[in-house]
Structure 1
Amino acid sequence: MLHTSDAPLTTLFYTALVGAIFCAAFLPFVGVAPKPADLALMAFLGSLGVASHFCMIRAFAAAPANVVAPFGYTALLWATLFSVVIFAEIPGGADDDRNGPDRCGGSVDLLRPAIATEHIKNDRPDQRAHPRRKASRRRVDFQARRGTRRL
């Protein structure tokens, strides 16, 4: 809703401001001064977070939420991939037998509605792409604009 009234940078600014105020409330109780190397890494991760949040705001401004939201489910796949590649941690591995299958089942439960929605949408005759029908509509629209359409 905000994309119709506010610029993406405005939305990004207010989101960051609210997050900073919320986190600053806990800083006196749990804050630790970071080392310079850690501070550089935190600044790098923060800039990546700002860039990704800005891209998300732009995506929701460019397309409806029902189109953009399923891409958020790929975060599960990326997290699993990074877990395996970077940390050599396999979901449901030997050290995590008790919780691993539950997590994988939960991931499937989260993905199931997105897959079902896409499947249902593709099975409807009115939603299916029909190449001939599209071509004929384009031809009629083009002829109507040129004024050469025959009745």
Structure 2
Amino acid sequence: MEKTGNDPTFYNQLAGAQKNGPVLQFLNNLDVQVMERPSDYSAKKMAQIKERYIKRAKQIDQTRLNTLEDQIVIFGLSESFADPTQVPGISLPADPIANVRKLKQQTTAGYMISSGYGGGTANMEYMALTGLNLANFSPTLPTPYTQLVPQQK
């Protein structure tokens, strides 16, 4: 396929069709692989890992002061929102997010590293809600909500 000038562009289907033509771009999408299967993958191994984390969770829960039922988690996913005071080389006459900072002082809050900025909200949402980083997936799977989720049981 490389000799034909094919340049698979999974993250942008329109650009891929424009570069490769619609037929090649269609063929590029036929064998979407979610991720490589580890050599030691098995149902037994997954059950062992699950048990390890169940044990660890029970240990942590013995000293936990709050229960999950008492918690409210709010994700404010805005791929273009950032703390401008954290940008190197910027000096501001006043704090532009003073109200947000005040809210953060009244509750549990923190920072999150985002692998996307200025777009891709659905992928950021997928990673936040599932805890699965898209970097672990094959490049042929850039949009899990449309390529993976509909096929999951």
What is the TM-score of this pair, normalised by structure 1?
A: 0.26
Greater helix content = 1
Please tell me whether Structure 1 or Structure 2 has the larger radius of gyration of its CA atoms.
1
